[in-house]
Structure 1
Amino acid sequence: MTVPFPARRRHLLLVAAAASLLAGTAQAQTAAFPNKPVTIFTAFAPGSGPDAVLRLVSEKLSKTWNQRVLVENRPGGGGFIAIDAVKTKPADGYTLLQLDSEHLAALPHLYKSRGFETLKTFEPAAILFRTPFMLAVAADSKFKTVADVVAAAKAAPGKVSYGSWGVGSPGHLGGEELQMRTGTEMQHVPYREVSQLFTSVGAGDVSWSFGSLPSSQGAFKAGKLRYIAIAAPKRIPQLPDVPTMAEAGGPAMDVNSFVVLVAPRGLPAAVRDKIHADVAKAVAEPDVQGRFNTFAFETLSWSPDEIGRQAAAKSKIYGELAKRKNISLE
């Protein structure tokens, strides 16, 4: 049936008015946010690299927003202590959560019985940084290249050991990927403390480990560790003499972790966009970039949607690795 012209005109006017109202509401949300303190929970311990960056960024946000931005550390429990503290909070931007890519992409595969998918409960709000991982051995190790590690593992399956800072960590899953790509079998040794891990690598208790620059540089600077490769597509300025995995005779691998801010799902788009833009502005500040340079953290310009796509890509890889060795934290 043809709608009479006056009725159609009224309908169009109503649609236009609704659109205008929605636009005005979005602008009001953006303008009003935040009008009270914001709390950012983090799954990382005080003094860690992600915590140090978050505290710097939170100071910048406090000035930009003219509101207190509080940091609450909730480490442990595979990330679930922090997750549980935030998941039932209102989706209004006043409670955010700092997680890494493994919390986003690996948890569903490590805790299958929980039926928990991080990005069905939370949505990305902003990217903070990405960190690459180096393959470290003891300073006096016989291994000079990744090819040496692979050859030894093929010659004696299960005898070459590697450490990590826990089951399901990037160090563990990166080691599983190296084995999968090279057809080798190595023994995984998980540690509860990062400092203990690199002390053991330096002492030769385990043959090697992946490690980020901030977590391993203490042992490296003390002359206990040697980096034989970086698991990235290219070398980094902080360690220009350290070759990539491929250059060191191994497979071309990209072992990294990225750190983000997420919010309970349902965050208004205007608030999400403001958080994203203001975090990007904070990260670009010279003192934050200086900290990034010290830690070899990489600045990224990912949108919230891109964060989701990158997490999905990691989830696919982690799912394959978890299934291959029946890796679980349950």
Structure 2
Amino acid sequence: MNPITRRPLLAPLACAGLLLSAMGTSQAQGSDFPNKPVTLYTAFAVGSGPDAVLRLVAHKLSTQWKQTVTVDNRPGGGGFIAMDAAKRGAADGYTLLQLDSEHLAAVPHLYKKRNVDTLKTFDPVAPLFRTPFMVAVPAQSPWKNMSDLLNDAKAKSGGLSYGSWGVGSPGHLGGEWLESITGVRMTHVPYKEVSQLYTNVATGEVAWSFASIPSSQGVYKAGKIKYLAVAAPKRIPQLPDVPTMAEAGGPAQLDVNSFVVLVAPKGVPAAVRNKVHADVLAVLADPEVRERFNTFAFEPLAWSVDEIGRNAAAKSSQYEQLITKAGITLD
């Protein structure tokens, strides 16, 4: 082969060499991860259900990785406090962040002036769990099912109130969705303190609220509230006697839930992300972890990274419609 015919092969060979080098670097990054402490930021407060299970996951990962895994709580500010802290970290897997589906899918539509897109700032890394929500009403409420609640709401035309743990929360957007499906009008009352919300549901100061098991079990076990339905297509094993939304006479398509995942600053190496994903799934399969999740009615998830993105996109589309229709803004 003469010099003229040899020369065009040099560029492809050089590119191939660079590609192999990059692949080798990526694999090396994954093989020795982690070789220093890892920080898990969370947008949830100390003592909350998501915090409690994250600490167990962190403990299990620490044992598995033989490195310190620290949980750093940064609640408040619609999730921005935790997100701002995490995004200052390097995209190397040593900074991770626990967020829920509302941080991923609702925040960009609630804070349009901030021009934020959570999934353009962070990469999905690993799934954690999904939690269902029940419809909670005072224990002495005359309502026996969702048909009773909806008929009363229709008769009062906006006079019936429902509470939530904040504007843009699943409890709020779930209520907007219920109104959109059924055509009834109700009045949303947001609370800053979750405990106060369910105390006020118990006393009838608000007529009803969506509720998770961890947030409402104290009032429920005290016999002060009851659950009319679980806003899901299937009953949950923790409350087998509570009917589904459809069984209780509500709209069958109403499925109010929230999922929680781990993300990392954008650009985390694929090999590192794959290792964290695999190791978290191994932790979620641990019987001790599953038992702990079960006490909160948290369903461990085995989603791939792509599935996290697809589920977040589906939530985003739904939330965008609800938020736009209701004219909700937090700017």
TM-score after normalising by structure 1: 0.96
The Cα of 1:22 is off from its aligned counterpart by: 2.7
| Partner residue, 2:156 | 156
Q: Tell me, in whole angstroms, the C-alpha distance in 1 between the residues paired with 2:114 and 2:192.
A: 23
The Cα of 1:109 is off from its aligned counterpart by: 1.1
The Cα of 1:5 is off from its aligned counterpart by: 5.9
| Partner residue, 1:311 | 312
Letter in 1 for 2:319: Y
| Partner residue, 1:102 | 102
Q: Tell me, in whole angstroms, the C-alpha distance in 2 between the residues paired with 1:100 and 1:189.
A: 22
Q: Tell me, in whole angstroms, the C-alpha distance in 2 between the residues paired with 1:323 and 1:28.
A: 46
| Partner residue, 2:265 | 264
| 1:47-126 paired onto structure 2 within 5 Å | 47-126=47-126
Q: Tell me, in whole angstroms, the C-alpha distance in 2 between the residues paired with 1:150 and 1:109.
A: 28
| Partner residue, 1:165 | 165
SS in structure 2 at match of 1:258? strand
| 1:228-239 paired onto structure 2 within 5 Å | 228-239=228-239
SS in structure 2 at match of 1:21? helix
| 1:1-330 paired onto structure 2 within 5 Å | 6-7=6-7, 13-252=13-252, 253-330=254-331
SS in structure 2 at match of 1:113? helix
The Cα of 1:8 is off from its aligned counterpart by: 5.9
Q: Tell me, in whole angstroms, the C-alpha distance in 2 between the residues paired with 1:9 and 1:113.
A: 51
Q: Tell me, in whole angstroms, the C-alpha distance in 1 between the residues paired with 2:275 and 2:142.
A: 52
The Cα of 1:56 is off from its aligned counterpart by: 0.3
Letter in 2 for 1:30: G
The Cα of 1:324 is off from its aligned counterpart by: 1.4
Q: Tell me, in whole angstroms, the C-alpha distance in 2 between the residues paired with 1:271 and 1:93.
A: 6
Structure 2: runs of 5+ lacking an equivalent: none
The Cα of 1:17 is off from its aligned counterpart by: 3.3
Q: Tell me, in whole angstroms, the C-alpha distance in 2 between the residues paired with 1:121 and 1:245.
A: 36
SS in structure 2 at match of 1:276? helix
SS in structure 2 at match of 1:35? coil
Letter in 2 for 1:264: P
SS in structure 1 at match of 2:242? coil
Q: Tell me, in whole angstroms, the C-alpha distance in 1 between the residues paired with 2:8 and 2:143.
A: 78
Deviations 1:131-189 (A, max 9, x none): 00001111110111111111111111111111100111000000110000000100111
The Cα of 1:320 is off from its aligned counterpart by: 1.0
SS in structure 1 at match of 2:262? strand
The Cα of 1:20 is off from its aligned counterpart by: 3.0
Letter in 1 for 2:179: Q
Deviations 1:73-129 (A, max 9, x none): 000011111111112221111111111000000001111111111111111111110
Structure 1: runs of 5+ lacking an equivalent: none
The Cα of 1:226 is off from its aligned counterpart by: 0.6
SS in structure 2 at match of 1:131? strand
**Equivalent residue pairs, number:** 328
When the two chains are superposed, the root-mean-square deviation of aligned CA atoms in Å is 1.4
User: Identity of aligned pairs, percent?
Assistant: 66
Q: Tell me, in whole angstroms, the C-alpha distance in 1 between the residues paired with 2:75 and 2:271.
A: 30
Q: Tell me, in whole angstroms, the C-alpha distance in 2 between the residues paired with 1:260 and 1:280.
A: 12
Q: Tell me, in whole angstroms, the C-alpha distance in 1 between the residues paired with 2:289 and 2:5.
A: 60
The Cα of 1:130 is off from its aligned counterpart by: 0.3
SS in structure 2 at match of 1:287? helix
Q: Tell me, in whole angstroms, the C-alpha distance in 1 between the residues paired with 2:12 and 2:191.
A: 64
